[in-house]
Amino acid sequence: MKKILLILVVLILLSACTLKQAYVSITFDDGYASVYKDAFPILSKYDFPATVFVVTSYIGNLPDFMSWGQLYILTKHGKWEIGSHSHTHPNFTKLKRSEIENELNHSKEILISKGFSPVGFASPYGQFDETVLESIKKSYFYHRNAGRPPWLNSLYNIDVFNINAVTIYYDTSFEEMKVKIDRAIAEKKWLVLVIHDVVKGKPKSYQINLELLEKTLRYLKEHNVKVVTIKDFLTAQGLLK
């Protein structure tokens, strides 16, 4: 009996120790073609996965967005996660409940028909309220916001339907990125980054420069930060059904 108790104590201590580090999840919203063409090779270089929340009506239909085949490659060769960002990218807080549920269900059905298993949703424009969340809970197992205080997520008290995130904009500097990462490291918390389009030249609006992305990935690697998809992180913590 004492031996069993000792083993249990050791397992509990080991489990606690694995949590005592910073985690980062890199997420891409919408499904821009640049994520596959430019971001994917760099993330692969550092052996980092990411989560992509796609607008299903954009994929395979608009020239600046990925094809279904490219999304498939991300999951099979990069071990990326594919989630939903709605079907047409509306502001959910402006919709009727029936319209909200249609967006959620239609997007999920399309993803499943293409061979994906979406468990997460990110609200377009980061806009949601209690009515929206009630509908999301019927179709998905988690929801990521687009940037609301307190920004970082505690490893011990995570609201899976309001996962905090930080959106990276065109004017975000590398120094600002370092501050966010350093804070996550110091406080041993989970940082979720939101990126949209990636460009090689001067970024605009929701774009970020490819050089900034690589500098950020290199910094994460140099500081031994654990980079995981949202799904993998929540699964490891026993927070996904």
126 touches 162 (CB < 8 A):
no
- Structure-derived torsion over alpha carbons of residues 224, 228, 230, 233, reported in degrees to the nearest 10: -80
41 touches 214 (CB < 8 A):
no
Res 2: pLDDT? 54
Res 133: pLDDT? 98
* 241 found inside a domain: no
Q: Give residue 8's pLDDT band: very low, low, confident or very high (50, 70, 90).
A: very low
Q: Which of 7-11, 119-123, 200-204 has the lowest mean pLDDT?
A: 7-11
Q: Give residue 78's pLDDT band: very low, low, confident or very high (50, 70, 90).
A: confident
Show the domain range for 106.
21-235
* 16 found inside a domain: no
Which residues are within 8 A (CB) of 80 and not within 5 positions of it... i.e. 6 or more apart?
A: 49, 50, 51, 52, 74, 229
Q: Give residue 1's pLDDT band: very low, low, confident or very high (50, 70, 90).
A: low
* 57 found inside a domain: yes
Average pLDDT over residues 104-120: 98
pLDDT tens for 9-53 read: 334 434 444 557 999 999 999 999 999 999 999 999 999 999 999
CATH number at residue 106: 3.20.20.370
Is the predicted pLDDT of residue 148 greater than 90, yes or no?
A: no
Q: Cα-flanking dihedrals φ and ψ of residue 173, to 5°?
A: -95, 165
What's the full length of the chain, in residues? 241
Average pLDDT over residues 198-208: 95
Q: Among candidates 219, 145, 144, 153, which has minimal Cα distance to 191? A: 153
Whole-number Å distance between alpha carbons of 217 and 127:
28
Q: How many domains does the chain have?
A: 1
* 12 found inside a domain: no
Cis amide leading into 41 (omega within 30) = no
* 172 found inside a domain: yes
Res 3: pLDDT? 52
43 touches 78 (CB < 8 A):
yes
Whole-number Å distance between alpha carbons of 153 and 193:
12
111 touches 118 (CB < 8 A):
yes
Dihedral sign from CA coordinates of 212, 213, 218, 219: positive
- Confidence (pTM): 0.91
* 2 found inside a domain: no
Res 150: pLDDT? 86
* 31 found inside a domain: yes
CB neighbours (10 Å) of residue 85?
A: 23
129 touches 93 (CB < 8 A):
yes
* 240 found inside a domain: no
Average pLDDT over residues 83-111: 98
The percent of residues above 70 in pLDDT, for the chain, comes to 92
